Chains A and B, each alone.
Chain A
Amino acid sequence: MAAVAHRPRVKAAGHFRHRQESAFARWLLTGVALAFVAAFLLLPLVIVFVQALEKGVAFYFQAILEPDALAAVRLTLLVAVISVPLNTLFGLAAAWCIAKFEFRGKSLLIALIDLPFSVSPVISGLVFILLFGLQGWFGAWLKAHDVEIIFAVPGIVLATMFVTFPFVARELIPLMEEQGKEEEEVAHSLGANGWQIFRRVTLPNVKWGLLYGVLLCNARAMGEFGAVSVVSGHIRGETNTMPLHVEILYNEYNFAGAFAVASLLALLAVVTLIAKSALEWRDERAAAARLKAPV
């Protein structure tokens, strides 16, 4: 499930209203857009649930509650629980230093943060094999010290973290840059220390953007396939995350089972979407309230 990295910022609604297209053109454009959404987004989503429930509700729950499936759910949750908070921490730190300070190599850092977006997830996975695999740079050392990374949970966590690395930072950097650093400067001159400035001024100012970034990061962390597939080794009940488990079931022609597990992932997508819309709606209302306020 690929997530979109940038939220369309709702500002000055009705800004384009002066460009009145003909009614026909408007209907045509709206129709085409809706048809695309239906064909490429809505239909697959419906099919996932239809297929999942094809053999009845009983089979559906049996497929979900089967031990290997449960293990996959557990592993996916574990990976998300580890990688999302760490990436949130990293994203906050990176956005803070990029938006609030000037230093050499800043643009390099921004480019590096984008790297996971521009590299195919398969390559990301391979990089970890090359580093920590048996034939890799640290492979021999790791084997000698009995540390398992590749084909084990640490490898999956690492690969997931790498792939979901930019989400929070990308969301926060433009927001923080837009807000500038005057509020922090004022707080500093009023006697606040670094932690007080962060907790009382910076964090509250970006909390919605942060939450949004975390949501996207979480969705991707749970849904990541490519990178995880390379490092996991596909050991049933041990190193299979939900997306990998879906693939295995599908390859075994267990379509209903595959779709049952897939429906859980799809459900996650829907929940994320609803949460995101709720956040945007709230944002919009706040913006409207600001507009209404006397200036």
Chain B
Amino acid sequence: MKIEIKSLSKSFGDFRALHDIDLTIESGELVTLLGPSGSGKTTLLRIIGGLESPDSGSVWFDGHDATERSARDRRVGFVFQHYALFRNMSVFDNVAFGLHVRPNRPSKKEIAERVDHLLALVQMRGFERRRPSQLSGGQRQRVALARALAVEPKVLLLDEPFGALDAQVRRELRRWLRHLHDEMNVTGVFVTHDQDEALEVADRVVVMNKGAIEQVGVPMEIYDKPATPFVYQFIGNVNRVPCVIAGGEARLGTLALPLNGVDAPDGTHATVFFRPHDLKLAPAGGANGIAATVRHISVLGANVRIDLAADNDLPLEAELPRVQFDELTLKQGDKVVVIPNDPKIFPGAAPATSTP
């Protein structure tokens, strides 16, 4: 089912949770809403599901205005971070719930067959008579998923579904969910604050910040071509170096970078962003670049991370493949020049670091 969100806004008292959101989610797509806490991603999910109503704007399902439709009639499946399994029911009854409460309830046999099929799908066959309290976190979440799928939802809404699980289980379930989604042909919206999860699971990623959408794109686009400083910082590591605009160029150490259409008049400040793995290091004096001193070297398996200090003790980070590093023969205290490969210039001073 195609979901269209049109100029949606929502406030809680003085707190503006969502501001003028426009978003289209294609049928069958799996989209993640990625952002720090308080960015409005969960509120947007709850509005799509009908658990919250917007102050203004509308939600459209397959071209029909569904803004006023109750959650009961939206045919959405919800999966929450803390599972929200019915604690007083067995696994079987949990999954069967959506079928039991139907006005034209299927026969007992049909329900049993359907539940069995779903439990097989989530690999939880044999646990029918267990209580939620007797299951592990990963098992609970799979039961929650089976329960949501039992009513054959058109849309699956997942609110940090793996947030309470440990890293190992999380990675497994992530991949498994991706496979499941490909088989099910259901539209999925997945909320997370974990960038790896968002990039791995999604067809498209919607990066949100302070109630607004910063960027929408396929994972590679989000990582390689961040549209805003926020996205640059939120996804992956990044070096940020302040610079001055002069003569239509950004002056960075002994480098002069072309502006490439960035709107920054001469004499203003700008910030250059580049990834730690997307740069070259050269011995001091050998090339144009940002002069820096090697502070610390840590070997991380195949890669080496080098902590550097530029002028004014500005910390920089470089990540080089082992081979390249060995050729450089660097040691602590060495003077080097940092040459960014594909720097991106944003007008204005660097925003405060956000902790994802």
Contacts and interface: CB of A to CB of B under 8 A. Distances in A.
**A and B: interacting chains:** yes
Interface of A: 180, 182-183, 185-193, 196, 200-201, 204-205, 289-290, 293-295
Contacts of B137: 295
Nearest to B101: A192
B88 interface: yes
Interface stretch (B69-77, B110-118, B216-224): B69-77
A246 to B, nearest CB: 42
Nearest to B51: A185
B268 to A, nearest CB: 46
9 contacts: A185-B51, A187-B97, A189-B51, A191-B72, A192-B97, A200-B101, A204-B89, A205-B87, A290-B133
Nearest to B93: A200
B84 A185 contact: yes
Interface residues of chain B: helix, strand, loop or mixed (majority): loop
Contacts of B78: 185-186, 189
A190 B88 contact: no
Contacts of B131: 293
A190 B134 contact: no
Nearest to B157: A189
A49 to B, nearest CB: 40
A186 B147 contact: yes
Given A185-B84, A191-B101, 19 more contacts: A180-B84, A182-B82, A185-B71, A185-B78, A186-B80, A189-B72, A190-B97, A190-B98, A190-B101, A191-B98, A192-B97, A193-B101, A200-B86, A200-B97, A200-B101, A290-B133, A293-B131, A293-B133, A294-B135
Nearest to A294: B136
Contacts of B86: 183, 186-187, 200-201
Contacts of B134: 290, 293-294
Contacts of A295: 136-137
A69 to B, nearest CB: 43
Interface in B161-184: none
B341 to A, nearest CB: 47
Contacts of B51: 185, 188-189
A182 B72 CA distance: 14
A185 B78 CA distance: 9
B40 interface: no
B297 interface: no
Nearest to A194: B72
Contacts of A180: 84
Contacts of B71: 185, 188-189
Contacts of B101: 187, 190-193, 196, 200
B151 interface: yes
A189 B136 CA distance: 24
A62 B88 CA distance: 49
A187 B50 CA distance: 13
A295 B80 CA distance: 18
Contacts of B89: 204
A192 B96 CA distance: 12
Contacts of A200: 86, 97, 100-101
A290 B49 CA distance: 32
B102 interface: yes
B87 A183 contact: yes
A206 to B, nearest CB: 10
A189 B49 contact: yes
Contacts of B100: 200
A57 B273 CA distance: 95
A84 B133 CA distance: 33
Contacts of A188: 51, 70-72
Counting chain A CB atoms within 10 Å of each CB, the highest count among B77, B87, B135, B137 belongs to: B87
Nearest to A102: B12
Ordered nearest first, which 9 A-B pairs have the shortest CB separation? A182-B84, A190-B98, A204-B88, A293-B134, A192-B101, A290-B133, A189-B71, A189-B78, A196-B101
A9 B25 CA distance: 47
A294 B140 CA distance: 12
A161 to B, nearest CB: 30
B84 A191 contact: no
B72 A192 contact: yes
Contacts of A204: 88-89
Contacts of B147: 186, 190
Counting chain B CB atoms within 10 Å of each CB, the highest count among A189, A200, A205, A293 belongs to: A189
A191 B103 CA distance: 9
Contacts of B74: 189
A182 B160 CA distance: 14
Contacts of A189: 49-51, 71-72, 74, 76-78
Contacts of A192: 72, 97, 101
Contacts of A191: 72, 98, 101-102, 151
A175 to B, nearest CB: 12
Contacts of A183: 84-87
Interface string B118-136: 0000000000000101111
A201 B102 CA distance: 15
A289 B133 contact: yes
Interface in B130-163: 131, 133-137, 144, 147-148, 150-151
Contacts of A294: 134-136
Contacts of A293: 131, 133-135
A193 B133 contact: no
Contacts of A290: 133-134
B84 A186 contact: yes
Given A192-B72, A293-B134, A182 B98 contact: no
A267 B97 CA distance: 43
Nearest to A190: B98
Contacts of A205: 87-88
